């Protein structure tokens, strides 16, 4: 078995409102960052796993993203996968 490390980026779909992002945008603008246009908040997940080979690891991470880690109604995801811890 080989160790793999996935970096998963989960973001709200563009059509979905992001109240937290909007609040931070306004806060930054009012503080001292008038140049800020938009802030979108998402999740960044670091996941390590062992698998027989890269394609098995890739398939498992894909399935975890779809079935456990994201809400497909409002979120999209992408991930990178590399061998080694």
The residue ranges that bind its own copies (CB under 8 A) are: 1, 3, 9-11, 21, 24, 27-28, 31, 33, 35-51, 57, 60, 64, 68-69
Measured distance CA(21)–CA(46) in Å, rounded? 22
Nearer to its own copies, 38 or 73 (CB): 38
- Give ∠ CA 12-23-10 in degrees, rounded to 5: 20
Nearer to its own copies, 35 or 73 (CB): 35
Longest CA pairwise span in the chain (Å): 52
* φ/ψ (deg, to 5) at 17: -65, 145
Taking the complex as a whole, how short is the minimal distance between the CB of residue 12 and its own copies, in angstroms? 10
Residue pair 1/50 in contact (Cβ under 8 Å)? The answer is yes
Taking the complex as a whole, how short is the minimal distance between the CB of residue 47 and its own copies, in angstroms? 5
Taking the complex as a whole, how short is the minimal distance between the CB of residue 68 and its own copies, in angstroms? 6
């Amino acid at each position: 078995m080989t160790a793999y490390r996935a970096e998963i980026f989960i973001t709200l779909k563009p059509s979905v409102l992001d109240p937290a992002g909007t609040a931070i945008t306004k806060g930054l603008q009012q503080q001292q960052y008038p140049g800020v246009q938009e802030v979108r908040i998402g999740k960044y997940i670091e996941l390590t796993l062992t698998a027989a080979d890269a394609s098995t690891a890739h398939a498992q991470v894909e399935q975890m993203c779809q079935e456990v880690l994201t809400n497909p109604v409002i979120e999209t995801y992408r991930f990178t996968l590399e061998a080694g811890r």
